[in-house]
Amino acid sequence: MSRILIAEDEPAIRRLLGAILTRAGHAPVFAENGREALAVVERGGIDAVLLDLGLPDRDGLEVLSAIRSRHALPILVVTARGDTTEKIAALDLGADDYVTKPFDGDELLARLRSALRRAGHAQQADTPVSFGPVMLDAGRHEVTCRGASVSLTPREFAVLQALVEAGGRVLTHAALLERVWGKAHIDDVDYLRVVVRALRLKLELDPSQPALIRNEPGIGYRLVG
């Protein structure tokens, strides 16, 4: 059981989120605005935050970075559909994931679960890391998928390494491009598409219906276990 803070100004949505979390065995704590949310987090004992970006008193992104600057706990933001830029900004400010209204209860719980799991065990570099069927040894620059060795170009390896280390968290296009190609290329989504395409052809069981590297339209990529 985890204590989850729900920062949401709409009472109906608050109740709905509370019911979804309670049913899944979590203990919801509520805040109606940004100030209250920050106070609850400061008091401690919170395992994760569901943060609506449309809070009445303060800009949601501001609340997000205020929490993130002092605490490492998982933060999931709740946004309206279509606000791609807002989602990207939230991810860049350190949000672990996002859900879009109207959200699907199972999807929400799954994302919360994996965010909590990631928070549970931080990974160290230079040791073999894995995600689902993928085992990656950064020190020896080797990758195996479902037990079979896969040969990757340096770019492909770097992109896969970033995704594996994120452990199911969404990485924005800009974040991936900056890490692998450098700051000058953060707008060159085309490069990323080519490399992800190559990775899928090498890793996916059925590249025509990729199940491992998932695309978030207009936002980025994540690995799905």
Residues near other proteins (CB under 8 A), total: 40
Question: Per CB under 8 A, does 19 bind other proteins?
Answer: yes
Task: Transcribe 72-87 into DSSP letters.
Answer: -S-EEEEEETT-HHHH
| The only residue of 110, 133, 191, 224 in contact with other proteins, by rule CB under 8 A | 191
Closest to other proteins by CB, 58 vs 71, is 58
The helix/strand/coil state of 55 is coil
The helix/strand/coil state of 101 is strand
Q: How far is the CB of 3 from other proteins (least distance, A)?
A: 21
Question: Per CB under 8 A, does 10 bind other proteins?
Answer: yes
> Within 13 Å of residue 131, how many CA atoms lie on the same side as its CB?
22
Residues 59-118 that bind other proteins (CB under 8 A): 80-82, 84, 101-105
* Whether 179 contacts 195, CB under 8 Å: no
CB-CB neighbours of 209 under 10 Å = 7
Interface residues with other proteins (CB under 8 A) are 10, 12-13, 16, 19-20, 23, 54, 80-82, 84, 101-105, 155, 181, 188-197, 200-201, 204, 206-210, 215, 217-218
